[in-house]
Amino acid sequence: SQKIEQNSEALNIQEGKTATLTCNYTNYSPAYLQWYRQDPGRGPVFLLLIRENEKEKRKERLKVTFDTTLKQSLFHITASQPADSATYLCALAGTASKLTFGTGTRLQVTL
């Protein structure tokens, strides 16, 4: 069955450092991979989308890589700030519209 794995343990980093979050998947061939941010008690907010034929995508301090051979995506936040503290969700989309989400990784950025 399809499986999407994100590190369930919280990631604690210091302000100004780069946070790197991992999304691994099995038994899946997604055409697209998306990253969302979720704050407590709120809905997911779209951040970035990357296509299967793209290696890397950037948006301001965010960078996403997508390796379909390794079946892995890495999500980087450079120069992290306390306001970046949230749960980050990886979501896969195949040929239809539905998104299949991972469990998310909670990021805590401290001063």
Partner 1 sequence: EPEVTQTPSHQVTQMGQEVILRCVPISNHLYFYWYRQILGQKVEFLVSFYNNEISEKSEIFDDQFSVERPDGSNFTLKIRSTKLEDSAMYFCASSEEGGPSNIQYFGAGTRLSVL
The four Cα atoms 82, 12, 46, 7 give a dihedral, to 10 degrees, of -170
Phi then psi dihedrals of residue 29, to 5 deg: -130, 75
Q: Is 62 in the site for partner 1 (CB under 8 A)?
A: no
Q: Is 43 in the site for partner 1 (CB under 8 A)?
A: yes
Question: Is the Cβ of residue 19 or residue 92 nearer to partner 1 in the bound state?
Answer: 92
Shortest distance in whole angstroms from residue 60 CB to partner 1: 17
Binding residue (CB under 8 A) for partner 1 from 11, 13, 49, 74: 49
Q: CA-CA distances (angstroms) from residue 96 to 31, 92, 100? A: 10, 10, 11
Total residues in contact with partner 1, by rule CB under 8 A: 26
Question: What single-letter amino acid sits at 22?
Answer: T
Q: Is 100 in the site for partner 1 (CB under 8 A)?
A: yes
